[in-house]
């Protein structure tokens, strides 16, 4: 049995990428296995944990719940696309380091995506709004305390509106 392949073009971290993919290939598997953008992680594959969060046209979504073919014609930002153009850490990434808003790093990519989406829409969120924004991202290491502190710090340092 040979699977039918579908042509797609997706703008990933500012670069148009074309591919021919089977219909059942999830977006996260395409990003990780084909494009080798392994910063996006797989945690539950049923849309709960948020580790695979990416931005699709600027909105945070679960890349395990979308097929690669569904991303055709859209714009994707992964954690690899959050750094500044010269490759240095973004204000948000740097704030996570400053507040130690992570431990094992596995859920961190998804949290960064959720936080960047929040700050792009609301540059000065309250703590309650921060918790709301990361409420769909499970973290087993941090108890969220230093994550909230990191996002608060990033907001103070003007981290909003930097994603492509």
Which of residues 51, 61, 118, 159 is near other proteins by CB under 8 A? 51
CA dist 163 and 66 (Å) reads 21
Selection from 118, 138, 120 nearest residue 128 by Cα: 118
How near is the Cβ of 130 to other proteins at its closest, in Å? 8
Which of residues 63, 116, 137, 163 is near other proteins by CB under 8 A? 137
Report the alpha-carbon angle 81-87-93, nearest 5. Answer: 65
CA dist 35 and 40 (Å) reads 11
Of the pair 83, 121, the CB lying nearest other proteins is at 83
Establish how many alpha carbons lie within 13 A of residue 98's alpha carbon, considering only the half-sphere containing its beta carbon.
16
How near is the Cβ of 42 to other proteins at its closest, in Å? 7
Q: Is 44 in the site for other proteins (CB under 8 A)?
A: yes
Selection from 39, 42, 12 nearest residue 26 by Cα: 42
Are residues 119 and 88 in contact, defined by beta-carbon separation less than 8 angstroms?
no
Q: Is 72 in the site for other proteins (CB under 8 A)?
A: no
How near is the Cβ of 73 to other proteins at its closest, in Å? 24
Which of residues 68, 79, 118, 159 is near other proteins by CB under 8 A? 79
How many beta carbons lie within 10 A of that of residue 3, not counting itself?
A: 10
Question: Per-residue x/- mask for other proteins, residues 83 to 102, rule CB under 8 A?
Answer: x-----x---xx-xxxxx-x
Contacts with other proteins, residue ranges (CB under 8 A) = 1-2, 24-25, 32-33, 36-46, 48-49, 51, 78-80, 82-83, 89, 93-94, 96-100, 102-109, 112, 127, 130-131, 134-148
């Amino acid at each position: 049995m040979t699977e039918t392949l579908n042509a797609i073009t997706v703008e990933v971290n500012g670069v148009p990428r074309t591919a021919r993919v089977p219909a059942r290939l999830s977006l996260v598997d395409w990003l990780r296995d084909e494009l080798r953008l392994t910063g996006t992680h797989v945690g539950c594959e049923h849309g709960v944990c948020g580790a695979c969060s990416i931005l699709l046209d600027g909105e945070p979504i679960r890349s395990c719940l979308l097929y690669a073919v569904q991303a055709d014609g859209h714009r994707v930002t992964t954690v690899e696309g959050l750094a500044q153009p010269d490759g240095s850490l973004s204000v948000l990434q740097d704030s996570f380091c400053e507040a130690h808003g992570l431990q094992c790093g596995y859920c961190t990519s998804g949290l960064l995506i959720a936080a960047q989406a929040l700050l792009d829409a609301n540059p000065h969120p309250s703590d309650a709004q921060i918790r709301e924004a990361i409420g769909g991202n499970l973290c087993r290491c941090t108890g969220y305390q230093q994550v909230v502190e990191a996002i608060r710090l990033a907001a103070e340092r003007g981290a909003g509106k930097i994603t492509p």
